[in-house]
A and B are shown apart, each in its own frame.
Chain A
């Protein structure tokens, strides 16, 4: 796609097909001959890992549907039927359920990598936004999928999330009724979520194709953030990237398998093995781990509508990121101050995740009370989540815009292949040895 195609059809059949549908050529240009920057580190392997996750979710999901019954009366029992009676049903279901978590682990790493190396900056804005769309679709899919087993957590999670939309003025109540298909979360809700849960992954696959297309138009970013300038800066995708991606996938699969075979329920909630009961809410209701930071932001705000807006705003910040960051330097490798704020940002996200899992009024340290500030004690998770949320928004809305204008950056190399030669100021041996270890 970038540059000239070097594909040479060798056999008669290939020549025949190439003249009619150059699909082999497309594959060759995209995944064999495609030039990748020579200095990509392992953080760049998560794109491949994510494709693997999507494929695994699709395959296991399609098999699960063959045995699942989408009805409020039978859904819970049919999941137990899958676990006990279906051949390798336990394996398929555990792969699907833990696969969702793995998918999110990979997507968060992938996003943070983009954030750190400035992969959202011109000309990659559309590439970044398509990625954000995929992330949004993933969240919707994961949420609806979690409802399908119709356990207590499924049910009351669905109640809480659908009610979030009810907070919006004017349209809110209609949206909620529309999602429910009735007066409350019930059979109609389960059926429409099932339908959408089957549809959305294929939409994700479609956007992934656009994402890869956009990637191949603008080319990959790399740890230096400098565009490849000559042949010396790139390597062909095969074998270099394929082998590296393959290795990273294998390592990732070890982690995946560890969860599936040894800790299959570690990331879930015991309450979801209790069938849904609309009349009793479990005492401690929390979403799946990958939503916890956003859940914490929601609870940090005492007002219902503002809480919902803050939560959606947290995601909207990602979409606006290409225009919020004003820095001319792409990679944070050459932005020492930004790097520091980035690390604090990652810590803040983890803190938010922790806060989302705890009860808001529980003390953070020990069991003592300090003094009451506003509606809660200062030594409580709700205040911790307020500070972390504040930092989350400040990072996007204040730090990145302002820092780009005032920051003193380190010298950026002229090209990927020769960072040391042209810039004696940048420590030469570190710059050449770094690509594999840094970041």
Chain B
């Protein structure tokens, strides 16, 4: 009952970043799961960097969650690390995401700050093909 070959083949996808307006996010479907591509405002980046030292369940620096020089773009797998619901954009106490299922709060770097989820929103494998194009997977 493990995944069939054609399911496994749905591995990678390309995405045009110009579709995402400043401060907004686009959700696309990747391997059956939602994928968040967020165009962060400077204020949001600043907030995330400022919190690097705060007490966290799954400590990680903001810089480690984005590609060097591309801090504006945050690419995340949009499924809550608790039980897999889709967190809502911009909600919660930290302005990142809020998961409606059991109340997990994520910050503007997608790090878990409050609630039952054990881990930060996962960063998938991706690379920049050009300034406006990414390949995910």
Residues of A within 8 A of B (CB): 156, 159-160, 162-164, 177-186, 188, 192, 278-285, 299, 302-304, 307, 359-361, 375
B residues in contact with A180, CB < 8 Å:
3
- Whether the Cβ atoms of A159 and B32 lie closer than 8 Å is no
Interface flag for B47 (CB, 8 Å): no
> When the two chains form their complex, are residues A184 and B85 in contact, meaning their CB atoms are under 8 A apart?
no
Docked pose: A280 CA to B79 CA in angstroms? 10
Given contacts A188-B3, A307-B116, contact A164 B83 (CB under 8 A): yes
Q: Is B34 an interface residue (CB 8 A)?
A: yes
Q: Kindly state the separation between the CA atoms of A192 and B117 in the bound complex, as whole angstroms.
A: 28
Which B residues lie within 8 Å of A304 (CB)?
82-83, 116-118
Given contacts A183-B33, A284-B100, contact A188 B85 (CB under 8 A): no
Say yes or no: B100 contacts A281, CB within 8 Å: yes
Contacts of B79 in A (CB 8 A): 159, 184
> 1/0 contact trace for B110-127 toward A, CB 8 Å?
000010111000000000
B7 at the binding interface (Cβ < 8 Å): yes
Q: A183-B33, A184-B32 are in contact. Are A160 and B2 (CB under 8 A)?
A: no
24 A-B residue pairs with CB within 8 Å: A159-B79, A159-B84, A160-B83, A177-B2, A178-B2, A179-B1, A181-B2, A181-B3, A182-B3, A182-B32, A184-B33, A185-B32, A188-B4, A278-B34, A279-B29, A279-B86, A282-B100, A283-B100, A285-B85, A302-B116, A303-B118, A304-B82, A304-B118, A360-B103
B56 within 8 A of A: no
Interface residues of B in 1-44 (CB under 8 A from A): 1-4, 7, 10, 27, 29, 31-34
B101 proximal to A (CB < 8 A): yes
Interface membership of B102, Cβ < 8 A: yes
Q: Mark B69-85, 1 if CB is under 8 A from A, else 0.
A: 00000000011001111
Contacts A285-B101, A299-B102, A304-B116 given; indicate if A181 touches B84 (C-beta within 8 A).
no
Contacts of A303 in B (CB 8 A): 116, 118
By a CB distance below 8 angstroms, the chain A residues around B1 are 178-179, 181, 192
Chain B's interface size range is 20 to 34
* B84 with A163: CB separation less than 8 A: yes
Is A278 within 8 A of B3, CB to CB? no
A188 and B7 within 8 A (CB)? yes
Residue of B nearest to A283 (CB): B100
Known pairs A156-B85, A163-B84, A284-B100; A279 contacts B27 (CB<8 A): yes
Please give, as numbers and ranges, the residues of chain A lying within 8 Å of B7 by CB-CB distance.
Answer: 181-183, 186, 188
Cβ distance B69 to chain A, nearest Cβ, rounded Å: 29
Q: How far is the CA of A303 from the CA of B118 in the complex (A)?
A: 8
Which B residues touch A302, using CB under 8 A? 116
**Chain A residues, CB < 8 A from B86:** 278-281
Contact present for A160 and B84 (CB under 8 Å) = yes
User: Within the complex, what minimum Cβ distance (angstroms) separates B122 from chain A?
Assistant: 12
Residues from chain A with Cβ under 8 Å of B84 in the complex: 159-160, 162-163
* Residue of chain B at shortest CB distance from A376: B103
For B34, B100, B101, B117, the residue with the greatest tally of chain A CB atoms inside 10 Å of its CB is B101
In the complex, the chain A residue whose C-beta lies closest to that of B35 is: A279
C-alpha gap A183/B117 in the complex (Å): 19
Using CB atoms, name the residue of chain B closest to A195.
B1
A188 proximity list for chain B (CB < 8 A): 3-4, 7
Structural contact, B101 and A186, CB atoms closer than 8 A: no
Contact of B31 among A181, A184, A281 (CB under 8 A): A184
A-B contacts besides A181-B4, A183-B33, A281-B101, 4 pairs, CB < 8 Å:
A156-B101, A163-B82, A163-B84, A278-B33
Inter-chain contact A361/B103, CB cutoff 8 Å:
yes
A278:B100 contact, CB within 8 angstroms = no
Q: Given the complex, which residues of B lie within 8 Å of A281, measured CB to CB?
A: 85-88, 99-101
Least CB distance from B93 to A in Å reads 12
CA distance A284 to B29 in the complex (A): 22
The reply to whether B102 and A360 form a contact with Cβ atoms under 8 Å apart is yes
Residue in A closest to B81 when the chains form the complex, CB atoms:
A304
A394 to B47, CA, bound (A): 46
Q: Tell me which residues across on chain A come within 8 A of B87, comparing CB atoms.
A: 281
- Chain B residues near A359 (CB, 8 Å)? 103
Q: What residues of chain B lie closer than 8 Å to A160, measured between beta carbons?
A: 83-85, 101
Tell me if B34 and A279 are in contact (CB < 8 A): yes
In the assembled complex, how far is the CB of residue A179 from the closest CB belonging to chain B, in whole angstroms?
8
Query: How far is A282 from B118 in the complex, measured between Cα atoms in Å?
Result: 22
Minimum CB–CB distance from B77 to chain A (whole Å) comes to 10
Looking at the assembled complex, report how far the CB atom of B75 sits from the nearest CB atom of chain A, in whole angstroms.
15
Question: Top 9 A-B pairs ranked by shortest CB distance?
Answer: A184-B32, A183-B31, A163-B83, A281-B85, A163-B84, A160-B83, A281-B86, A186-B32, A159-B84
